[in-house]
Amino acid sequence: MNVMNSKVTSYQDEAVCTLQIYPRFAIKPGQGCILRVPKEATATTVIKTAVATLGMDTSKPYILVEVQEYGGEEWVLQASDQPVQRVLLWPRKAQDKHPQSDGYFFALQEGSYDGSIQYDVMTSVRQEKVAQGLANRGFVTQQPQEYDDLCNLPELTEESILGTLRHRFHKQKIYTFASNILIAVNPFKFLPIYNPRYVKMYENHTLGKLEPHVFAIADAAFHTMLNKQVNQCIVISGESGSGKTQSTNFLIHCLTALSQKGYTSGVERTILGAGPVLEAFGNAKTAYNNNSSRFGKFIQVNYLESGVVRGAVVEKYLLEKCRLVSRGKTERNYHVFYYLLIGASEEEKDEFKLLRPEEYHYLKEEIPISEDQAEMKHEFRRLHQAMEMVGFLPPTKKQIFSVLSAILYLGNVTYEPKVVAEGLKVGPDRVLSAISDLLKVKVELLVEALTTRKAMTANDTLILPYSLSEAITARDSMAKSLYSALFDWIVLRINHALLNKIDLEESVPCLSIGVLDIFGFEDFKTNSFEQFCINYANEQLQYYCNQCIFKLEQEEYMAEGIIWHNIDYPDNIGCISLFSKKPTGLFYLLDEESNFPQATDSTLLEKFKQQHQNNPFFVQTPVRVPAFVIRHFAGKVKYQIKDFREKNTDHMRPDIVALLRSSECSYLRQLIGANPVAVFRWGILRATIRTLAVFNEAGRSWAEKHPGNIYAILFISFLNISDLGLGSIRELHAKVLQSLKQFGGEVPQKLQIVLNVILLFSVQNLIDSHSLKFIMGLTQHNRATRSLLRLHTKKKPPSISTQFQASLSKLLETLRKAEPFFVRCIRSNGDKREMHFDDALVLQQLRYTSMLQTVRIRMSGYGAKFTFKEFTDQFRVLLPKEISTPQQDITNLLTKMGLPSSSFQIGRTKVFLKESERQILQEALHKEVMRSIIILQRWFRACLMRKQYLREREGIITIQVLFVWLARGCLVINSATFPGPRRNPTIKISRATRVQEKWNASLDREITDSNELHHLDEFLGNQVCVVDVYSSLNPNIGYKDLMSGYQKRVASLAGLKKASEVPLVVNLFQSVLDGFIRGELKRLETEPCKVKERNRRKSKRDKCPDGPLGHLFSTYQVTIMQSCDQCSSYIWGMEKAFMCSSCKMVCHKKCLSKITVNCTGHCDRKKEGEQTLHFGVPLCALVRTADSVPFVMEKMLVHVEMNGLYTEGIYRKSGSACRAKELHHILEKDPQAVSLDNYPIHTITGLVKLWLRELPDPLMTYSLYNDFLYAADLPEASERLRAIYRKLDELPPSNFSTLERLIFHLVKVAKEEAHNRMSANALAILFAPCILRCPDSSDPLLSMKDINKTTLCVEILINEQTRCYNQKMEEIQQLENAEAMAINQLKLRRQIVSFHTCILIICSNLSNFCPGAQNKFVLMLRIISMYLYCTVQNLFRLWFRNELAFRLPEFEQDSSDAENMDSESLVSSESLLEDHFVSLNSEGQY
């Protein structure tokens, strides 16, 4: 996309842009037209302009298609779509110009008149289909069969392996298996195969069942760790440019996604943020790789035994510091410098004194071109976000950028000889001033450190000037020391952020998965000391791989005595001995020469040649060539001997350390500290002393102004604190307290606080630095290179090579303690061309990695190994009941299953199986276990039915016997009393008896108005808790249901002894209801009915955009580059996107409205015309709205709540199977017409559980099953609760509303535990298998271990909702009490006003009465005044109580008997006064 008004490329600012349109029916391929269109132009406008420009037939319909060939997608633009906005979503290189050859362009093609669109396929796909058709017809040779596992190749040769990799690579399948080893060919471009849906796709799948992928290795390592409870490691190997760093990022992304089950503690976020930070400061562009790691790192992620991330540790190895000051012509410095210079804002450029990249000496080799600058601006924003994720505050980031700017300015320092005196003149002044301001050091000290050095003698210290070469070396050494210290500090801070503080307090068993991303094998035009160490590390890594793949495997076969033919493999132990064997190894010779003051690089080379002239791995070079050659496992490498000694002893110079320690910036002093713990302690001590000094000075001045004050004594006593020892502060504290008590008795509280503050700041009470010690213990070798070179001491710090060997040994020791997975990265070509496969280069890498031998041993070897005990324990179901000889029984089993004899062998103590045969054995085990489970279920059900049948049969026989005896007895009595035929007397049925048989017709009325319910509650005088009798989710409740619930409640309370009184009580309650109903009908006739819509509480997920087509989208921060599943454009790292929690679809926010694909996470709605079903149907097909509950479920739950809450064992006991089948059939056919009153309560409760079990996807969904298990297994109860509720928010709306209704129902059942004997735990045991069951594909033996977790999860939900229910009921009760109190208060105020009016009337007419009457009135006034006094006093009590409750809401309101007595006394006094007034009025009338 070009801009017409300017030659400079722009992406968003200009209004007129250029689009290139290619018609698909053009005669010449590639023919198109260039259009200038406004930025807001729609697809319709572009089509009209293109048709007119090309001179095409305007009567035909046309469509505009966006083609993304590399993404394999085509998208037809709608009429309102804006093509320019679509271009902005393409890769940055394709946005400027988009010719057809780049794969991103717009195509114009004809549309159909009926509106249908003929989609074209991509060129590569079309050519593949044409070639396949020709092959099928016999015109061309048939293409070879594709194999995703090299072990399945029919012919194993180098050519067949290379051909398979090439064939898959051209189909954009860059991953291939070699048994459990993954081969990854670097395509040098991004492929859209790393979205979260791919993580979900490979989760908990056997390695090899799906297409090879790096996520498959991560998932296999994760679940192997959980199943075996053994640490795992993933070793990524390959030469520079093979894609190791990118594979590491993908692995870490997948491992954190797998571990984010339930509650995310924040460690995952820190791990993901650490990657971009380390890449920015430790990666650079090289000749072979645009993002080459210039350091090695080992990321060890720690997990709890349940799979939840516990913490992590990052270990780094050998940062390439020389790259900072020099590198090749086509290479660049570290990424962070370019990000800072190009991406910083104008304010940041002024603050950090930044220049253009070409103005810095350290960056002059290669300057980023304009095309890369836009990407670097984005990377700088990404770096900012990543540093925030790790925990860097804005002030810390500013300090880091200041140090980076100072390092760049150091490269611009120049030297020239002084004209007059001896030494060098340093400049320019503006550079020195900038460095001084950025580092907060004095210019004089900076100049001294850059031009002179100190030499120690026996009696004096000499200051010697540098020569020109020495000065340049000192300058570069200062820059390298600063950058190395900064990188070490960043790694330390990342480890501190990844540290779990609980690990410092308690010992919790943890597992780990380590991912090794170490520098690859390098062979540049100029190889130096860095490549020497890097290639030695790769030799050690290759030896480790050979040990695991070949040596240890074959030694185990030989020890077990099985038939095996050894496979030869190249052993590189000789090359490793050349480097590290004592005392003539190259590293030891290098250390010797580094310690000799008179030694040079030439003498070092001569010693190399002299000691190893006969070594086959050391190749001699001509005498005049300052280099030597080593034959590595990957080929010969020529090393330049220059600067070997200097780089091996590259320590921090004392002069530089002294300069940086004089800085006013505390952050800079932290960087150069050799021991972070010591720096931390000294910082606390320095702050403490400064605080005491300020406090001392303030105390002296205040004491002088107040000489007689008691506080002055304290400050005067504290003046000489600096003269005391460190252990005397506590003694001073005690003495001051004692002296103060002598002067003034007790110590004032304010003074006590001051003394405690002094004690708090004592030196012996420093802040705990245990966490820093812990981190230093884990990563001690990371900071070993920070050794300070002290010239006045004989003992020198260890050399760089010695430190590197020690850290490498520790790494190999860690790897040997874990089970390894291997990822072999292959560089596809040497020119970094996209999707180009260089056969010669790939074949060379396959050879030196021994891939042919690796595939051969994996093909011939046995991937599954079990000891006899492990085999019998795991496959006990398939073996005979009694095992006498394990070898023979296992052999018989494998032979009986039809496994070929070549696929297994029985050793002395172990069983060896091929991986494919192990999977067959596992599937047979699964089928046998399922068959056994079905048999047990049948037997158990048969026992239950038999037991029920016998019980019912016994009851029927008993009833029949009693009936026969009663009938005979009645006949005998009748015949004896009434010998002749007589008429039966009339039996009068009382009103109480009639109530049980049939209630009044008025009770058929239903409550549909919330006001009517409120009036009913007031009418009953809060004597019956109506809320407990009906379901709040069903607003249509009838009075008949209310009567039924009341009757059952009364019957349960009465028991058997008072059962005869139940009809009388029910009769009385019915008469009360009749009276209320008549009054309510009259009220409704006079007042219009106001129906309010029900407002349902909204959950957290309502904040997210509405999910189209069943999707559940939430905000998702991208950590690795991904592609939008809707528009296929890139989503860059650290950008915000939206992800469906069900199907893991990822897209832009603007693409949400354009989604046309249904969510695959749960089922779609049922189509119209299908038969209506209610059991075994997806939940989303049973609800009308997202927040509703299925009708059948609601109907059954309401009936149980109305009729069965007090039934003992309501959900534990089972009902009649025949009645259950009958009701099931009726509910399926017509659920609205069925009357549940005709069926036993246990039949209905059994159908509730059956309805839940028959759901295709359970209420808590298969996709979140593992998430809920991990949440329930968290150690802290609060974390468990938060994690479970966080996962509930990810449920589909229909599942959430139904689960909410069910949990509310279970809460009501558990509330009546005293009657129904159903506790929260008992309900959780019964309902956990119904609503939180494992997928059918899971191993039943493993799923049985999860029963406790699923039960705990459901029990937590019930208990928490019970707590919320009780809390709400208490709040309602408090509101009712407050309402009653307010009413009483108003009554009292009205009484005061009325009595005050009466007094005024009496006083105004007092003179009109006789003296006797006046005395009576005076007495009456006294009584009234006493009453008013009591009334005001009570009113004040109420007011004070209300104020107390209002101001202190945490206090409970006092509703004691005294309050009731006060109210009763007021009422009684009020009635007496009223009677007295009546009597007085009657006397006045006479």
1356 and 1282 Cβ atoms separated by less than 8 Å: no
| Alpha-carbon span 1211 to 1310, nearest angstrom | 11
CA distance 1028 to 1030: 6
How far is 1413 from 1051, CA to CA, in rounded Å? 63
Cα torsion at 1399, 1405, 1406, 1411 (round to 10°)?
Answer: -140
Query: What is the distance between the alpha carbons of residues 49 and 134, in angstroms, rounded to a whole number?
Result: 40
For helices 468-498 and 267-282, give the axis angle rounded to 10 degrees. Answer: 170
Helix count and strand count (H, E) for the chain = 51, 31
Is 238 assigned to a binding site?
yes
244 among the known binding-site residues? yes
* Helix or strand holding residue 109 (H, E): strand 104-110
Tokens (6 digits) for 1145: 């679809």
| Residue 1463 counted as an annotated binding residue | no
Q: How far is it, in rounded angstroms, from Cα 1017 to Cα 1022?
A: 6
Tokens of 1182: 């049973």
Only one residue has tokens 């989710």, namely 1033
Spell 49-76 as b/e; 16+ CB within 10 A means b. Answer: bbbeeeeeeeeeebbbbbbbbbbebbbe
Long-range contacts of 1266-1269 (CB under 8 A, 24+ apart): 1266/204, 1266/261, 1267/261, 1267/262, 1268/262, 1268/1332, 1268/1349, 1268/1350, 1268/1353, 1269/261, 1269/306, 1269/1346, 1269/1349, 1269/1350, 1269/1353
* DSSP letters spanning 898-967: T--GGGEEE-SSEEEE-HHHHHHHHHHHHHHHHHHHHHHHHHHHHHHHHHHHHHHHHHHHHHHHHHHHHH
Q: Parallel, antiparallel, or unpaired: how do β-strands 296-304 and 309-317 relate? A: antiparallel
Q: What is the DSSP letter of 781?
A: G
Looking at residue 1004, the DSSP 8-state letter turns out to be G
Q: Identify whether the C-beta of residue 283 lies closer than 8 Å to the C-beta of residue 245.
A: yes
CA of residue 70 relative to chain centroid, distance: 31
Helix (H) or strand (E) holding 1019: helix 1010-1019
Q: Are 177 and 161 in contact (CB under 8 A)?
A: no
User: Which residues lie below 8 Å from residue 171, measured CB to CB, with a gap of 6+?
Assistant: 146
For 1040, the token pair is 């008949």
- Spell out where 450-509 has E strands: 452-456, 461-465
Q: What is the 3-state secondary structure (H, E, C) of 1373-1385?
A: HHHHHHHHHHHHH
Check the annotation: does 849 bind a ligand: no
- Written as six digits, the tokens of 1306 are 């279970």
Taken in order 712, 717, 722, 723, the sign of the CA dihedral is positive
- Residue 242 annotated in ligand binding: yes
Parallel/antiparallel/unpaired status of strands 627-632 and 618-619: antiparallel
DSSP β-bridge partners for residue 912:
865, 905
Contacts 24+ apart (CB under 8 A), 1087-1091: 1089/1009, 1090/1009, 1090/1011, 1091/1008, 1091/1009
Distant-in-sequence, close-in-space partners of 454: CB < 8 Å, separation ≥ 6? 461, 462, 463, 464, 654, 655, 791
Q: Does the bond joining 91 to the residue before it have cis omega, within 30 degrees of 0?
A: no
Query: Which residues, in sequence order, are CB contacts of 912 under 8 Å at separation 6+?
Result: 557, 560, 562, 862, 864, 865, 904, 905, 906
Quick check: 425 and 415 in contact, CB under 8 A? yes
| CA torsion through residues 566, 569, 575, 576, sign | negative
Residue numbers belonging to the annotated binding site: 238-245
Residue numbers belonging to the annotated binding site for ATP: 238-245
